[in-house]
Every structure is written in C-alpha cells, then in structure tokens.
Chain A
Amino acid sequence: MKIIVCLKQVPAKDSVLRIDEGGQWVKEADLTWEVNEPDAFALEEGLRLKEKHGGEVVVLCAGPPRAASAIREALAKGADRGIHIEDEALGRADTFTAARAMAAAARAESPDLILTGLQSDDFGYGQTGVILAELLGLPHATIIMEVEKRDGSIKVKRELEAGWFQYVEMPLPALLAIQSGINKVRYATLMGIKKAKTKELKRLTPAELGVDLEPRQQIRRVYVPQKTKRTHLLEGSPKEAAAKLVEKLKFEARVL
C-alpha cells in the first residue's frame, strides 16, 4: 500500500506568541517549530499500516524552507521518502492554496491512501484534507479513530459527538483526516535519525507543479482578545437593585 502522509510544521505548543509589526501574523523569529500534532498521529497511523501490510510511506509537505526539519523528523521515525513543496509563502498559505499544491504533487504519486491530521494547531481550519480529497476526486472521511484495511477497501471508525461513533467502509484510494489520540506516537530513534540522512527528500517549487500561490483568503488582522472592564451601577431602592442584580447574575453572568 502506498501511503502519503501530509505534514505541516507549526509553532511549538505553549509558544509565547507576539504579534508582528504588520499586525497580520505572529513574530516568527521568536518561535520554535514542531510537527503539527494531529499530523504526527497521521504519520504514526501510516507507519503502522505500512508495518502491517507492507508498502511505502511518503511524507508530503507544502511549506517554507524551515519545514524541511519536520520532514526529516518523519523520515527519522520511519517514513521512506519525503516531498517538500517549498516556498516561503506556503508558511501562511490558506487551506485551498496548500491543498492545491499538495494535490498536484500527490496526483503524480497515485497513492492508495492519503492521511492528514484533522486540523492544524496554528490556523485550525480543519479543511485542508477535505479540500485535497475533493481536488483529487477521492472519497474522504474525517475524525478517524481506527483504520482497518480490507481487500481493496478500508473500514474506518469516526468519532461523532457525545460518545457516538460511526463505522464506514470505503473504497481505495481514499483520504482520511486522523483524529489526535488514535495511537501512541513513536519517538525518532538515534538509528532512525542517522538513517534519515540517506533517505530521499525531493524538493519541488509551486511553479514546477504548475500551481500559483495566489491566496483565496486573507488575514486582515491578528490581535489578542481584549479584556474590557465596565462598571454598571444599579439604580433604585436596595430591594429593586437586588432584584436587578439577581436577574443579571442569572441571565447575563449565568452564575446562578
């Protein structure tokens, strides 16, 4: 089974975020980067499927040059090779643009299965995988908690709300958006890290893939939620004021 795992590099969790001068993104110079956590679960699931059923895991990343370290980490964990669609602008690309770039590269690979994380820890749109499937004309399912390979198809378990699950049987090829926590992610071993050096990491430009990076969506302003404090004086007799206070506590503050 040929499996493509899509990977994004995002700011490390618990990073102290500072908004940049333009007010449209955070200061990247301050940040350390890591593999988007849901994608790490997708990679682990891909590696497990390969170990069980044979085949190949190809890591696909549309990102700026810095994202090469995320691909290298995936190779160290056991992915067979990597494809890096490299462009500085891809660091902040919208979901459609990222999906279009990845679709162009994925098409040439004709994989049996594409795995993505459910969403990214930075933008959190949860759309890239789904758009990618649509662009490739593949069936897709999201919030996947379990993948079972059958002859020419897969059976997946989807997480619904309130403790409900849905089981779906799908034909291959297909795309799955993997839910965090589906498995226990492995560490890159020292031997794996050493081996990764010799694995293929193909660099492609959007131009080579015939993809323009014209954004379809724009971030106008990034800001920290503003805390506001207002004092409201309740008029009237103590009895009336108390009644108003109770009403406000009940219906506005909702603490009663």
Chain B
Amino acid sequence: MFPFRGVDYMDIDSLFSEQERLVRQTTRQFVEDRVIPIIERHNREATFPLHLVRELAELGFFGANLSGYGCAGMSNVEYGLIMQELERGDSGLRSFCSVQGALVMYPILTFGTEEQKQHWLPRLQNGTALGCFGLTEPDFGSNPAGMRAVAVRDGSSFILNGEKTWITNGSVADVAVVWARLDGVIRGFLVEKGTPGFKTSDIHGKWSLRASITSSLSFQDCRIPEENLLPGARGLKSPLSCLTQARYGIGWGAVGAAMACYDTARQYTILRKQFHDRPIASHQLVQNELAWMITEITKAQLMALHVGRLKDAGKADFSHISMLKRNNVWMALETARRSRDLLGANGITDEYPIFRHMCNLETVKTYEGTHNIHTLIIGEKVTGVSAYV
C-alpha cells in the first residue's frame, strides 16, 4: 500500500488557503510517521499511545482553535483539517484531542475565572495536564437533563455526589470538568485528580475505540473548593455548547476515517486480481461501491468546509453542526462497511485499517449526540416542534 496522499475528487483543495493546506500537511505527516506504524498494536492491546501526548502538544493540537494562554489560535477550518487528519489515523486519537480542546479547554476558557484559565489552560495546552468531561451518567445518556449528580454548598466549598460514565481519558485526567446540579441548576465544577472521594475505573471489553481510555467516574462526598466552580456556566446549554464544539470536530474527523477506508479499498481493488487475471476494480459492482464512497466523501468534505467557514464567520448554529455530525459519521460508517466488503477476507484483519475504523465509527455514531438525537434536532429545527419531550 502507498502512503496516504489525501482524497480530493473535485479539487476541493482549491478552496483552502496555503496556510490551511500547510496545517493539514503537518498533521498528515505526523500521523503517517508517528501514528500509522503503531496504531494497530495499540488497538490490539487496548492502550492509548500516551507517549504521543508531548508531541501532540508541541505541534499545537490541543485547543488549536482557541486563542490566548499558549493556544495556537487556528481558524475553525484549520482545526477541522487537523481533526480530519488525526482521525485518518484513529478515532481514538482524534477523540483525545477533541476532549482536551473542545470539552475541557473550551469550557474553562468560556466559563472559567481568570485564575482558572491562568492555571489550567497553559498546562492543558502543553500536555503537562490532561482533562476529561463528565456529563453522561449511567442512567442519562441522550437525556442529560435528567442527571442525578448533585452539589451542595457547605461553607466555602461544595460537596459533590454522583456517577459519570463513558468518560474519555477519565482515569488519566488531572482535571475533570464535571456537570452537576447546584440548587437545581446544572453547573460545571473542576474536580482535580486526587480529590478525596473521587474515584475512576476504566471500562474494559470495548470492541470500539480500543486505542482510547474510557472510564467511569464516581464522586462520594467530594469536597470541591468554591474557586473550582465555573462561574459562567449555568444550565444545560453550557455543557451542550461544549458538545457543539466537539461535534464540529467530529464532523471533520469522520471524513478522515472515511478517506482512510476508501483509499485503502481503492488501492486494494486495483491490485487485487480475480477472474481472468483482471483487477477487481474492473468489475461494475466494485466500481459502484467506489463511486458511491467518493461521492459521499466529496459531499461530506464540502459540508464540513461550509460549516467551518460559517463557524469562522460566527454564523454556525448548533443545528448546522448536528447535520454535519449526523451526515458525516453515517457516511463514514457506511464507507467503512462497504470498504471492508471490497477487501473480502482481508478486510477483517488488522493488516488493513478498515475494520478498526468501522468499529470505532460505531462509537462515533453514538457519542456526542447519537445519530437519532441529531435527527430530532434537525427535525425540531425545520418544524419548530420538539420530538423529545
């Protein structure tokens, strides 16, 4: 197999600036050199390549589209291209950066005090501190409004109780952004590693996002100092605004996973010969699949780019990002399945990246708002009637 050279059927590259292409190139090269050679082993062993954290940080990938406190201040399109290239490597790697940037650094920057920003953002940016985001609970996934986690004021601190689960990086995080009710209102708390009563345990036996750490968090009478409350966050819209940031990155990331699968299948079908010593790419049924995939990838690229330009102009709505996430992840999963099929038996081994991407994308379809929840967000947008009440 040849190295990955990108997928661009319709000269979409001409819509990117020189700087945007350079950002993509640096990320692509890093993934090719540092991720592709090791990712299958990490996936097999169900470990995250933590040794890459320092390099990811040095390159500026954590909180890349945020400004100040050491962040790179990239545009949203540049950030999207980074996510695309990282997920071309593995969804777990992209998830790691999504969580650190969109779900930890973003809420601290948006809702935090100056002290919180000064303390955490440079550390999170340079990778000396890792973060996680605790919203989902064992009984509340798609309906986070029902959360049971609760904080009660006690003098100059809060006592936090509750359970969070499906938390990426939970057990390696130095700080958890935890959402809980305080006087009936959902608020955000920075819970530091080592806080008495704060325990984490990893979720094992995953068939998906294996090269990523997924944990459960438990809080039993955790005393959280007053200064660890995010003052600017009130109500469910605050954590949802973080998810909008992360979903935006997923919308691009999924394109990367799809590109990896499509490109593998395209190369494979050209080399693989069957029936009269002809490549299987010469079969109409195979071309039908490749044509479907490249068309869907091209549409997804254009949608991601358009939403990115809207976001840079301050005009992207969460409902736009829902459509981006829903469509592009569905497209990527479908592309992975079709690519797997084209590789026949070879498609089920980890000699090729497709099955790994396919399994990963099942998670990506589910987290950060399931496919169906995004259907309902779009439905509400076009009808004005909410379907999840």
Contact = CB atoms under 8 A, between A and B. Distances in A.
Contact of B64 (A73, A76, A190): A190
A164 interface: no
A1 to B, nearest CB: 25
Interface residues of B, number: 23
A12 interface: yes
Contacts of B30: 187
Contact of A69 (B2, B5, B18, B29): B18
A53 B99 CA distance: 40
Contact of B72 (A32, A69, A72, A191): A191
23 contacts: A14-B3, A32-B5, A69-B21, A72-B18, A72-B19, A73-B22, A73-B25, A187-B26, A187-B29, A187-B59, A188-B22, A190-B26, A190-B61, A190-B64, A190-B74, A190-B78, A191-B60, A193-B23, A193-B26, A194-B19, A194-B72, A194-B73, A196-B19
Contacts of A187: 26, 29-30, 59
A248 interface: no
A209 B378 CA distance: 61
Contacts of B3: 14
Contacts of A32: 5-6
A12 B19 contact: no
A197 B73 CA distance: 13
A12 B21 CA distance: 14
A234 to B, nearest CB: 29
Interface in A4-50: 12, 14, 32
A12 B6 CA distance: 12
Contact of B23 (A12, A14, A69, A190): A190
A35 to B, nearest CB: 10
Interface in A173-231: 187-191, 193-194, 196-197
A189 B6 CA distance: 20
A182 to B, nearest CB: 17
A161 to B, nearest CB: 29
Nearest to A77: B26
A45 B162 CA distance: 55
Interface of A: 12, 14, 32, 68-69, 72-73, 76, 187-191, 193-194, 196-197
B58 interface: yes
A197 B18 CA distance: 10
Nearest to B70: A191
Contacts of B64: 190
Contacts of B23: 190, 193
Contacts of A12: 5
State the majority secondary structure of interface residues on A. helix
Given A73-B22, A187-B30, A194-B73, 19 more contacts: A14-B2, A32-B5, A68-B18, A69-B21, A72-B22, A73-B25, A76-B22, A187-B26, A187-B59, A189-B58, A189-B59, A190-B26, A190-B60, A190-B72, A190-B78, A191-B60, A193-B19, A193-B26, A194-B74
B259 to A, nearest CB: 15
Contacts of B6: 32
Given A187-B29, A187-B30, A187-B59, A193 B5 contact: no
Nearest to A76: B22
Interface string B61-88: 1001000000011100010001000000
Interface string B30-64: 10000000000000000000000000001111001
Nearest to A188: B26
Contacts of A189: 26, 58-60, 72
B6, B30, B58 — most chain A CB neighbours (10 Å): B58
A15 B78 CA distance: 25
Nearest to B29: A187
Contacts of A14: 2-3, 5
Contacts of B58: 189
A183 to B, nearest CB: 15
A10 to B, nearest CB: 15
Nearest to A75: B22
